[in-house]
Structures are given as structure tokens and as C-alpha cells.
Chain A
């Protein structure tokens, strides 16, 4: 029956009025005939909200009707928020001055929009599976379809359970492997894929899952099944290996964001009571207008990729990423001075730490982590920052988009070194267990250092690199020599003026790369006579 479901109503007013757009009370007859009783039928027809608006409508529908989540941990501010201090620890509570969001809903939604991979972690019964189910509904599937297609990890799960079975008749009659037809499981064709309790899946089946997640195809008996691009949702009660089987590292690295299900606030028990008494499951009530078609999902992904990342933000991100991989005493050669070198060699971290007497281990951000950032994690971070900007109706990423997305992307990728002096400070001890807070703090420290070094005003390495990026065609021998001279001078200045840190190491490596490109080109020019 049309119109009988109050959950199906979507507000006609914009979910996020453009920044600075005034409240206007000018005459508009539609404002008179629209109201709490809904819109007249003819007014409903033909209305198509922009995709970012539709995405926000979906967010607010989920927050208001489906998932009881009063946590607004992704904070945005127009003006500095006033902190209210609580307890002996003087923990500040900030009241955001701009529209802020609940990560538990927002991140899955951005995953849906950008078609990436999201892991829900948290104790049982905190809404992880329910949240994933809602994302399936947004993809245009019915609750039954989504529930049936959900893969539930268990210790006996085989590759056939996950991917499909060979036709029994073909198994008997086939003369070669390619004659065996496979009955592929239906979930492989869905645009939203959900794997519940993925850390209970046996290792061999995890490898098959890795192929589907990473390369978007499934393989059995030499048969290939190509899967459509999809948003992935995985759930786990524990991210620290508490499942039945350890999760293979490559599979973990394929996950773009990790979202933690925050505890239920008992003040909202009345809403649970109502649902129990009335037998209501909001998942059954998602309005049709909030479902995204194939074409809309394609368009949304394209729009997200089209959001620009300004150069000054990119530089901040470069500076942040350069802090962590460097380890001065892990290698003799400049290129091998990385944490990965010592990890591969099995050298304990504390042995290297004892050698490091030159740098301030408290101030150096690289000392807070056990590892560096992978390329995949940086790509995920950029995609999610763009998705966040898209969600907020912007065409350009803002610094706060990066600040807010970074902790969720790096949650299971950048690991804190509990022995680091930073964590020995009493005020920082809580950051060892609060990964989101620590990562956000880490990025803010990095930005402060970036500004202290004046890199936002002048960055010689970036300028030299930009010069090369313009191309070598037409560059004369004389210009080449001049640039080589500049590079060498910059390297000498760097060596004289700074301690060797991650950022300096990366800058030096970049200059070496530029030096190689120019010197090779110069040699080629000389050979041409």
C-alpha cells in the first residue's frame, strides 16, 4: 500500500544546505502545499535528487530510522568548538559547529558510494551485520535477497561453499577440466557483497576470497567467473586475530576502511522497546527512492573520482606518509633504510631503537609506529577523502576530509609501537587503545610540523619535481646542468641543515631520482652530438 509507511518518507528539504546559503523566506507556493502530510502526488513525480543529496538522504534515513547511533565522532566545524571538560582526566567534549556524522553509518555509506571494502569490528550484537544489510538494500536488493546472499564465515567453509559447485554430471562425463561447468553462487554477481565473520573462514577459503576481493574474479576447475564492481562489507568480532583462523595479511590489506561499532547508549532503550513491542524491522522499510541503480552507482563512483585534491593538501599527505617507513639503522645503503628491511631480516625493534641516539624519539612521529604506509593505504585514503568531499557536496577535498577519513583507513594498517617514548607519557597512554584518536592526533601533529617547517610556503623539492614533470623535451644541455647543480645544492643543504628523518630521507631519494633523470638525459644529449 502506497503512502502507509512513515519510514518511507524522505524530507524534501536539502540535507546539507550549501555553506553560506541564506535562509530565505521569499514567497513560494510549494512551501504552502508541502508539509507534514507529504507531497501531492504530482509533485512527487519526476523529482530526482542529485546523487550526493540522495546519498545524504540515505545517511539521514539510516541515522533517523534504522540504526540507533547517537555517536557523532566525525566532527566538522565552521568556527572553533568550545570544549567542555569532564572528569579527572579533563577529557574535552566538543560540540561541533558544522554538520557532523556518525562513522558507523558514514564510512559504510562512503564505501558503498566509492565501491570499496569496509570491515566492521566490534563485539557481538552491536549492529555490524544490520548495517551491512542496509547497504545491500541501498544497492537495490530486497532484504531477503541480501540476507540470502550474505556469506557467513565458519570453520568448515570450503571454496565450493564460497564460490559454487561443479555440475555433478559434468564431473562424471567431462574429458577435460574446461568441460566442467560451475554453478556459481549468486552473491558473486551482486553489487554489494557481505561476508559475515570473515575471520572464522579457513585459510584456504580466505585465499579464494582474496582473489574475488582483490581481482574481481572467481576461479574453479580452470573456469573463470568475472564479478561486477561491488562494495564489500566484512564483519569480525575482533581485529586482533581472535577469530577461528588468522586472517591472511594480503586479505587484511585489501580492506580499505575499518569501522568500529560503538557501544549502545542505554538512554535509547525506549526505541528498542518500541521495535520489540511492535515487531518493526526498519530494514524492511527502506524507501524505494533511496535505492541506487547500476547507472547511478557508476555515475557516483565517477563523480567521486572527479573530486579534486588540491596540491597543498597533497603535500601535507606526502609529508605525513614520509614519516613512518624510515629507519636510520635498518640499512647501510640509503635506499634500504626502512622498517621493512629490518622486519624482513627479523631484527628486533628495540635493538635499532638503542642505536638511535641522534634524533628526538619523542618528537619524531616515525618512532610511534612499527611500520610504514603501503601504497594501497594511500590510495584508499585519497579515495575516501574524495568520497567524503562528494558526500558533503563539495568538488574539492578539504583538510578536514583528510583528517576525518585518515584514522579509519589506517586503522589496521599503521601499527603503534607500544615501546615508543610517546606512549610512555601519561597523557598519551590512552591513545594506545584508541587507534582512531591516535591516528587523528598523529595527522594533526604532522600538519603542525609541516607548517612549522614552512613547507606550505616553500617546498624546493616539489618545485624541482614539478619542473621535471613538465617534460624533458626541449631542455637544453645548459639547462640540464643548471638543474643538476640546483639538485646537488639542495642535497648538500639538506645534509648540512637537518637530522636524517623520514621526510628528509624521502626528499633526498626524490632528488636522487631527479638527478638520475637529468643526468641520463644529459648523457643522451651528448651522445646525439
Chain B
């Protein structure tokens, strides 16, 4: 092992550590043991070796948290081959440099970051968050803002509004991440001065029998600042922008909520963008996007109305 301290610690605390392992183990015991063993030998060891200058109590506190997190990551498949590179990068590259100046806060910071990552389901989204994180390495005070901003940019559009507010408090990150003018982010399809406009249409919300959320035909509802989808007795709030798209369950009862009327054909402006045979059921034009729902697929199609369009 690279970290002699970790080797001693594991030997000294063998009983409680083994007990924690036994209680957490699930699934195939051999696979679980291999995955977790690899995490200890490569990820945890690497992290502790790079923080060897810390006091033993700080190292013990971080090690304890990281050990438990490792068990949770194993259970949640973060140590499988398709996710392994993200986890390795996190423990071997990002955490050593980010946590080094903050020994007292390290366990809390680690837990917060891992929890935020757990909201991002695929490895690509987690990689995006780590890219941004590595560029900024926020201090403990700035960590909540960083979590908001980078989680939003990695694919959680429900945090968009709060993240934009937080972004105003960190002009240095705008520069680091090459995001350009923050005012431009008022437009939901703007991705910053490097990536510029997002223009590809987005599908979401399949019918139940296709594995989606809708158990009945969806209907669009609209209120100031809100777009909702209703299917049967259930409602979802539509959050959508260039960084992510999601439907979150809601019971929102806005006093001005009204259904969007049915329509038979597309508006002229949309026709060149949609050449499919499915007729539209509802068409809603918002300030920055077109939203259409279809009869047969029970899905929503959102067509970006970017700033470059007439």
C-alpha cells in the first residue's frame, strides 16, 4: 500500500471495519469483495497517501467516512467497469487536490459531493460535474453554491434558477469555465460562449407501456412561469434547458393554470423542423421554446427556439 498510515489503520480497526463490511454486503459476495477491495487498494489508498501530512485524527475521520462511502458506492454500482473511471478520477485526482487545504471539513465535503453526484444517473453527467469542479476547486464556504451550479450544468435543470443566482456571487467561475456573459443565460438554450446554442429537439415523458411515466394521454397545462403535464390524476412540472430535461412529479395548483387547447396542425414556423407523420395534439409556444405533444407516442417533443432563429 502507498499509505502506511492506512495499512496501520485498517489493521487496528479491523473488527469494526469488517463488521461494517459484512452488514453492507449485498449481491454476489465475490464481486462485492473484488470491487470493494479494489476501491480500498487503489482509490482510498491513493487518497490517504496524498494526504499523509494531515494529523492522524483528521485522516481517521476522512477514512471512516470514505470507507462507508465506498461500501455505498459498491452497492450502487459505482465501482462497476462503466462507472469505475469516474470514481477513480474522483478519488485519485480530484479529492486529493480539493480536500488537502481543508482537513477538518473534509468528511462533510466528501459526503456532500458524493450525494450531489448520486443525483446524476449516468457516468457522463458525473464526468461533466467533475470537469467543472476540477476547474474551480471551491472552498468549503463556496461548496453549496458550486454544487448547485455544477449540478445544474451537469443535467439537473430544476436547480437552474437558484444556480443562476448563485453564479452571480462567483464571477471568477464564469471566467474559469468560459461561460461568457451571465445575462445571456436568461435564454434557456444558451450554453456559454464556447458551446453556444443548443438546438436539437428533445423527447421526454414516454407512455407507461413504453417504460415512461404517463399512464394516460398527457395534456399540457400552462401558468405564468410554469409548464405542467397532466396524465390521469398525476402531474409533472417540466424543467428544461440546454443542460438537462426532466419531468418532476408535482401537485402544484397555480390559480392561473389552464390547459393548452388541442390543435390539428403545426404552426408554420415549426413545420420545417418536424417532418414526421405523427400529427401534433397540442402545441405550446413559450418565450424560448416550442413544446408539442403527440397522440401516438404519448411523449413530449420540445423544439428549442434559439436566439439565432428568426
Contact = CB atoms under 8 A, between A and B. Distances in A.
Interface in A264-294: 274, 278-280, 285
Contacts, number: 98
Interface stretch (B155-163, B172-180, B215-223): B155-163
B17 A33 contact: no
B118 A35 contact: yes
A6 B250 contact: no
A437 B258 CA distance: 50
A29 interface: yes
A86 interface: no
Interface in A18-71: 22-25, 27, 29, 32-42
B119 A32 contact: yes
Contact of B114 (A1, A5, A37): A37
B20 A35 contact: no
B76 A36 contact: yes
Contacts of A42: 108
Interface in B149-204: 151, 156, 158-159, 161-162
A22 B111 contact: no
Given A3-B65, A3-B68, A22-B251, A29 B162 contact: yes
Interface string B54-98: 000000000011011101100010000000000000000000000
- Chain B: interface size category: 35 or more
A350 interface: no
Contacts of A37: 68-69, 72, 111, 114-115, 118
A274 B29 CA distance: 10
B72 A32 contact: no
B20 A29 contact: no
Interface residues of A, number: 29
A38 B111 contact: yes
A24 B250 contact: yes
Contacts of B22: 278-280
B57 to A, nearest CB: 13
Contacts of A458: none
Contacts of B225: none
B21 to A, nearest CB: 9
B288 interface: no
A33 B144 contact: yes
A268 to B, nearest CB: 14
A457 interface: no
A27 B158 contact: yes
12 contacts: A1-B17, A4-B19, A5-B20, A6-B20, A25-B249, A32-B148, A35-B114, A35-B115, A37-B68, A37-B72, A41-B107, A280-B19
Nearest to B13: A1
A7 interface: yes
Given A32-B151, A33-B115, A41-B108, A27 B159 contact: yes
Contact of A3 (B64, B76, B144, B252): B64
A2 interface: yes
Interface of A: 1-7, 22-25, 27, 29, 32-42, 274, 278-280, 285
Contacts of B107: 41
B167 to A, nearest CB: 14
Contacts of B252: 22, 24
Contacts of B108: 40-42
Interface of B: 13, 16-17, 19-20, 22-25, 64-65, 67-69, 71-72, 76, 107-108, 111-112, 114-116, 118-119, 144, 147-148, 151, 156, 158-159, 161-162, 237, 248-252
B248 A6 contact: no
B72 A24 contact: no
B16 A1 contact: yes
B251 A32 contact: no
Contacts of B116: 32-33, 35
B147 A32 contact: yes
B188 to A, nearest CB: 16
Contacts of B24: 6
Contacts of B23: 5-7, 278, 280, 285
A1 B64 contact: yes
A40 B111 contact: yes
Contacts of A41: 107-108, 111
B162 A27 contact: yes
A37 B107 CA distance: 11
B168 to A, nearest CB: 16
A4 B69 contact: no
Contact of A25 (B20, B114, B250): B250
| Shortest beta-carbon contacts, A-B, top 8 | A22-B251, A25-B248, A35-B115, A278-B22, A4-B20, A35-B118, A37-B114, A40-B108
Contacts of B16: 1, 4
A285 B23 CA distance: 10
A1 B9 CA distance: 12
Contacts of A278: 22-23, 25
B298 to A, nearest CB: 21
Contacts of B111: 33, 37-41
Contacts of A33: 111-112, 115-116, 144, 147
Nearest to A3: B68
